[in-house]
Amino acid sequence: MVSASKRLRNKLLSKGDDHQEQQQQQHQEPRSQRLVVVNKALVLLAVLGFCMVAYLWSTKAWGLQWLDVGTLSSLQRNVTISTPKKETQIVVKKEDTHKSLSTEVLSQEPIPAEEEMSVLDYNACCGVGHRLSRMAAAYHASHYVLGFQLKAVWGFCGDTEIFQHLFREETPAELQAYVKSKGQYYRTDGEVGGYWALKHKYCAKEELHAYYKFFAEIMDRYRYKDKIQQYVRDNFDNQLAIGIHVRDGNGEKGDFTEKNRQIGITPEEWVKKVSAHILKYLETVKQDNGGQEPPQPVLFVAADNQDYMGLFQIQLMGQINVVEWSPEQHQQAGTGVFLGQRQEEGLDEDTCFDKWKAMLGDMMLLASTDVLIAGQFSSFSQTMPLNVVLGKPKEQKKVRRPYCEVHGEGKWFDCYEDQMDWCTHAKQFNTLKTNNNPDSKGYLSVFEAMYESPYYRNQTHKNNLVTGFLYKTGNNR
């Protein structure tokens, strides 16, 4: 009896356990279903969130909605600071220029009072061509998009800020012509937000004219322009001034060699080929003038290796007079180049500025020629010189095609009529038989970042611009 009752009891308990398991399974099934639904919802929300962020990032439509007065912002972080007193001014300090990402330095940047002019502060880096190309973008941003005063910091020679020493400040009349905003402060280091390189698809007349205007103004504001103008009177007046820039590298390593920008053949071979192109080019100038001889040509040589001056003199002896600027500042062969970076090591202040003035003298004299030849890709010749030579009014040009580029180790020679012609590469200089190069598309200079952006339109451009800046303070416009 006992064993029978135990068996019955165990059987009943077993049924109870089975029933309990069934109930648990019934409860677990809807729970697992709910978890699946929740997980799907979370995934959907994540996808929607990602799409929203991607949309905002692509349109940059959020750029002007971040800040009120007294707030400093970047794409990485927000730092709230108090509005300074009215008399606070922007002061460039040498020890601050290399700490642009420091919260301590950022928090010291003043915000203009609401009645003061808004400021776009451009903090330059790298070589002179690089900084001028980016400053031209900042010029377009400040003058045509934002209506802000443009200020620049180029680094230091000794304890003296380079840009302030070399270029005069804008006059009140010059500022009033374009500054329309008050009480805001933007700062950008190196690159200018919204002006990045894209495929070569688009050239806008407004931007092209802005770059010509910027470089013409910079030349006018140069504190040593009297020496430049005197050299032009002594060497270029009443002649056909041809300027050539030779970026040989002169033993330079690093970025220059990694990007394969060397001439590729010996200087002697290259000068011989280019000299032949120049002489043939002068024949086409005569044809363009209806058979009339052009003015006596003079060749101005700006090179990072002083050997090229002598090579051109030998090659063109008796045909074209060859001149140069500030030969005492030219580098010896194989000794590298003066890049004009933020702080040149081992140079005293006077020597540093002498090199800056020699370099800018070469650049401004190239911009003052009637015909400009870029020996190879270089932002040095494709910033100020290119835009001034191509951008000046047609009636001021002595030749039909005043800008030429040398390609393929001196084999090809392409020339252009104006900024738009060069920018679009629509016309090639096929008058020369040696120029029938099906692969020649011309160089895309550092200005492709400005010439090609499809975002150059009104508010969209403005949003792209502002979100690209490292720092922004002040009211929304």
Identify whether 211 is part of a domain: no
CATH of the domain at 441: 3.40.50.11350
Contact between 262 and 375 under an 8 Å Cβ cutoff? The reply is no
Among candidate residues 273, 338, 276, 259, the one with its CA nearest the CA of residue 303: 338
What are the structure tokens assigned to 103, written together?
Answer: 């919260």
The tens-digit pLDDT sequence of the chain (477 residues) is: 555 555 545 554 555 555 555 555 555 556 666 777 777 778 788 777 777 666 555 443 333 222 222 222 222 222 222 223 333 333 334 443 333 322 233 334 556 666 789 999 999 988 888 899 999 999 999 999 899 999 999 999 989 999 999 999 999 999 999 999 999 988 888 788 767 543 334 577 888 899 999 999 999 999 999 999 999 999 999 999 999 999 876 444 445 455 555 677 899 999 999 999 999 999 999 998 888 888 999 999 999 888 899 999 999 999 999 999 876 555 555 444 455 554 455 688 998 999 899 999 999 999 999 999 998 778 888 899 999 999 999 999 999 999 999 987 888 889 999 998 888 863 333 333 333 343 333 333 333 333 333 333 334 444 444 444 433 334 333
Q: How far is CA 145 from CA 80, 120, 195, in A?
A: 26, 11, 12
CA dist 87 and 203 (Å) reads 43
pLDDT at 299: 98
* Number of domains into which the chain is organized: 3
pTM to 2 decimal places: 0.68
Tell whether 182 and 232 lie within a shared domain.
no
Identify whether 142 is part of a domain: yes
Tell whether 250 and 159 lie within a shared domain.
no
Identify whether 321 is part of a domain: yes
pLDDT at 263: 76
Tell whether 387 and 309 lie within a shared domain.
yes
Tell whether 247 and 156 lie within a shared domain.
no
pLDDT at 401: 94
Identify whether 187 is part of a domain: yes
CA dihedral 189, 195, 196, 202 (to 10 degrees): -160
Tell whether 251 and 335 lie within a shared domain.
yes
pLDDT at 168: 96
Identify whether 372 is part of a domain: yes
Contact between 404 and 281 under an 8 Å Cβ cutoff? The reply is yes
Tell whether 80 and 171 lie within a shared domain.
yes
Identify whether 216 is part of a domain: no
pLDDT at 452: 34
Tell whether 109 and 246 lie within a shared domain.
no
Tell whether 178 and 247 lie within a shared domain.
no
Residues spanned by the domain of 38 = 34-63
Q: Which residues contact 214 (CB under 8 A, 6 or more apart)?
A: 135, 136, 139, 140, 387
Identify whether 273 is part of a domain: yes
